[in-house]
Structure 1
Amino acid sequence: MADKVITDFIRALRSADIRVSTGESIDAARAVRLIGYADRAKLADTLRCVLAKSPEEKATHDRLFDLYFSRALDTASKSVSNAAPGDTETDTTSDDMLSLIESGDEAKITIALAKAGQEAEIQDIEFSTQVSFFAQKMMKSMGLERLDTKMMDAFRRLTDEGEGEAEKLIEARREMFMRARNYAQQAFETYGAGATETFRQEFLSEKAITQLDRRDLERMRTLVEKLARRLAVKHSRRRSKKNRGQLDLRKTLRKNAGFDGVPFELLWKNNKRDRPKIVAVCDVSGSVASVVRFFLMLIYSLNDVVPDIESFAFSGRLESVGDILEQQDFSAAMDEIIFRIGMSSTDYGQSFSDLKMDHWNVIDRRTTLIVLGDGRSNYGDPRVDIFSEAASRAKQTIWLCPEAESQWGSGDSEIPRYRPYANRMVHVRTIKDLERVLDEVLASYN
């Protein structure tokens, strides 16, 4: 029983997007065998230490622990208290639904529901729309067909006594279905809610940013934070590994001279690598603004791996916006930036001139210069010469364009004129596209 309880709990954690390795699963099972289930607080602390790593994972663990173990331990304790001496399993199959409900024995009802849930494989539930389906499967496991047969027989008698019995059976059926449905709902919240949220996030990550509505914004904020954590973990590990460099043979031999040259302690050459630095120049006019919002949210969520970020916004004139984004609530800061800066007629040439005049020193050989905009400059001078000069100062230059490539060069689009000076010119339409670009940027520093 113990191993299955832990296995199913780990399954619930994994469905909520918490990564649990095989080794961690084994450690959790061993720990539980040592401390037992009697002290729930100690059990929760132990499993949290073994299975959850980040603060977000710990919060998810605590929520699922309360959901899962309130039911699992309650069922186990009632099963033990109702078992006759020498019994290895409590028998509830001989009780039909009517006698089960009429008995008022909560322990037996709880055990019957748990057994029915196990037989219905309720841990496979993934979506809220499956709650009624699994409740029905549980009902069948508890003898729904026998109950329905009894009910029909009572109706066919066409007597007051038969009608009274039928009403009792209908009430028992209704009561047990509600209990089964509540059980299935709790199982969904334990096993399926995380998977459903992951599915929704995957859908949103592939949805065009310009098609998102206000209802999606809070979920998108959670998604962006999740993507940022994933990138941070990936590149922190990769950078740590690369920084170790090659074995320093001379220092290793000197350090281990007292051990007859046996290398008990290895010393490595340190690879000196540039720390990531991003300068973001963003067009916040018109439909481009919605893409900028999520791009800046993503890069400012990466401050653990990109401590050096300079951001600028423009439509007519260019302004530094880093202080606003760092000091205010992000959503309020973006609203202010778009309202204050994004209402002018777009002028890429003037904005690049402002960059050179006021902020040229932020671009150096460590810099990844990222320009986010559609390149439409209302037929003004695009100052390609300044963009070319900025690109030559930077480590690399990437232009992110929300418009499809088929639109580049149409009307007042100056993208083809800027394109030769960018290391990459990328069409971005989804949050997944933005993640992919930043993944490649961070990889270039490893």
Structure 2
Amino acid sequence: MQGTLEQFFRALRAADVRVSPAEAIDATRAVAVTGFADRTLFKDALCATLAKSADEVDRFEATFEAFFARDPVAAEPPPAPLSEREAEQVAESPLAQAVLQGDAAAVQQAMEEAAREAGVTEIRLTTQRSRMTRRLLEEMGLDQIEAIIARARRLPDGEGQGLADRLEAARGRLFEQAQAYVQRQHDLYAATSARELREERLVRKQLNADGGVDPVDYALMQQLVRKMARRLATKYARRRRAAQRGHLDIRKTLRRSTAHGGVPFEIAWKVKKVDRPSIVVICDVSKSVAAFAQFLLTFLYSLNEVVERLDAFAFSGRLIPVGDILDDHAVDQAIFKVLQEIGFQSTDYGQALADFAENHLDSLDRKTTVIILGDGRSNHAEPRLDLMKQIHDRSRAVIWLNPEPESYWGQGDSVMNRYARFCHVAKQCGTLEQLERVIEDVLRSYVPH
């Protein structure tokens, strides 16, 4: 039964029910107490130890019913017992005997044992179903049934026709049952693989104007961004706590121990103050980079656990603060609100920098990281490099993310190569994968190693 439970844990993980090794051990211990005879008690014991939320309870119940379901075997007993000659012909095949005698339990057991040998639970793609079905039937002993049918057809005077007809009918029913079994395994185990393949494609998808986001993929990409943010938030919150804990202060600990006869009841630590990231993000929301701006803002606003301050600004022709808009609306809705106010204007990076310097330059200090998202194409307007230098000098770091390849920088109306001189980091960033690496670098810079 341990192997069955491990397969069930795999099926739960495929259904987005997180099962840690510790939880799997707890579930195994609970089942050892309750036993397997009472299905309801067995199910409740697993649910209590594995499902942590209402959504996970729903997914657990659906997975449990699918995993422990048993398809009915459509094998009917023969109208009369097998003759002595027929019994001799099928003696070499336990599967043929089971289907002719209508032994549904034996057929089901044979199918599950054959599934383990055939590796049916390793199915990952829809295209594998036919091959897995055939492999399952071969492991069950279908070749023996087909050989018996062929021999029975060759018997003189049609002596074996009745046996051959019944076995052919049973073979058809076995095909149907095997197909249903493989489909169920696909539904249990392959959903995660298909989603992971799709996610892997999306995190590498270019988000510039020419590679815009398909509406079908947009919701999944938003989920991916939030998942990346949660992963980084968890990782760097843990690192920050470890850094804050510091090292043992031996001198102070020994001084405190004198009050207790030299026993170090009160431990003293050398605590180092660790700053939480303070981030200012300036986003170009013109058509060429609006989609990427949405994902960048979604990412940063999902890091609220580890970011002390986040000031967001957007521009196309002029620059405005968008923090209040983002606080009151979802990011995708907020972008439309921003576009209604400043969209459809001629992109002017110089004017945007002037607006920022006039109203918000004093908010920058040596603890602030400035992230600028844009392609650096300013329609031949004055780039205001002097203001870019001021932002550089007042900030902890200036990071410029440009969705365009570096070979395009400086071509046409692009002044990206001139802005890059006043950036601590300036790099192409056109995919979610690249975005995650950049944000992780920012968070890492605030935590001592």
**Which band: TM-score by shorter chain?**
0.7 to 0.9
Provide the rounded CA distance (Å) in 2 between the counterparts of 1:98 and 1:341. 78
Choose which of 176, 179, 184 in structure 2 pairs with 1:178.
Answer: 176
Closer/same/farther in 2, CA of residues 101 and 377 from structure 1, 3 Å limit: farther
SS at match of 1:199: helix
C-alpha displacement of 1:441: 0.4
Deviates more, 1:412-421 or 1:150-159: 150-159
Give the structure 1 partner of residue 133 of structure 2.
Answer: 135
Which runs of no fewer than 5 residues in structure 2 stay unpaired? Answer: 72-91
Q: Give the Cα separation in 2 of the matches to 1:219 and 1:167.
A: 52
Separation (CA, whole Å) in 1 of partners of 2:120 and 2:221: 30
| 1:6 corresponding residue in structure 2 | 5
Task: Please say which structure displays the higher CA radius of gyration.
Answer: 2
Aligned to 2:403: 402
Q: Which amino acid aligns with 2:345?
A: S
Residue of structure 2 in register with 1:34 after alignment: 33
**Mapped partners of 2:170, 2:223: distance in 1:** 44
1 CA distance for matches of 2:429 and 2:415? 17
CA distance in 2, matches of 1:101, 1:64: 37
Contact 1:101–1:176 (CA<8 Å) still a contact in 2? Answer: no
**Shift of residue 410, structure 1, vs aligned partner:** 0.9
Q: Is the 8 A contact 1:373 1:400 kept in 2?
A: yes
Q: Does 1:48 align with 2:44?
A: no
Partner of 1:226: 227
8 Å CA contact 1:98–1:172 kept in 2: the answer is no
**Matched residue of 1:182: which SS?**
helix
Q: CA 1:258/1:62 → structure 2, altered by over 3 Å: closer, same or farther?
A: farther
Question: Match for residue 430 of structure 1?
Answer: 431
Task: Flag the 1:439–1:400 CA change in 2: closer, same or farther, 3 A.
Answer: same
Alignment of 1:67 with 2:63, yes or no, is: yes
Relative distance call for 1:111 and 1:99 in structure 2 (3 A) is closer
- Residues 44 and 65, structure 1, Cα contact 8 Å, conserved in 2: no
Q: Secondary structure at the match of 1:183?
A: helix
Q: 1:208-249 CA distances to partner (integer Å, 9 max, x unpaired)? A: 123242222122122112211111111111111111112233
How many residue pairs match? The answer is 421
Counterparts of 1:91-102 in structure 2, within 5 Å, are 95-96=94-95, 99-100=98-99
Identity percentage of aligned residues? 40
TM-score normalised by the chain length of structure 2: 0.83
**2:355 equivalent to 1:357:** no
The 1-side partners of 2:26 and 2:303 are apart by 32
**What per-residue deviation string (whole Å, max 9, x for no partner) do you get for residues 245-268 of structure 1?**
122334433554465323355332
**What does 1:29-428 correspond to in 2, within 5 Å?**
29-37=28-36, 38=38, 39-48=41-50, 59=55, 63=59, 66-68=62-64, 71-72=67-68, 95-96=94-95, 99-100=98-99, 103=102, 106-153=104-151, 168-210=166-208, 211=211, 212-257=213-258, 259-428=260-429
- 3-state SS of paired residue (2:369): strand
Which amino acid letter does the alignment assign opposite residue 278 of structure 1?
A: I
The residue number in structure 2 matching 1:83 is none
RMSD across aligned positions (CA): 3.0
Q: What residue identity is the alignment partner of 2:432?
A: I
Are the equivalent residues in 2 in contact too, given 1:64–1:190 (CA < 8 A)? no
Displaced runs of 4 or more, over 6 A: 16-19, 157-164
1:378 is paired with a residue whose SS is coil
Query: What 5-or-longer segments of structure 1 have no aligned partner?
Result: 76-92
Per the TM alignment, residue 389 of structure 1 is displaced from its structure 2 partner at its CA by 0.9
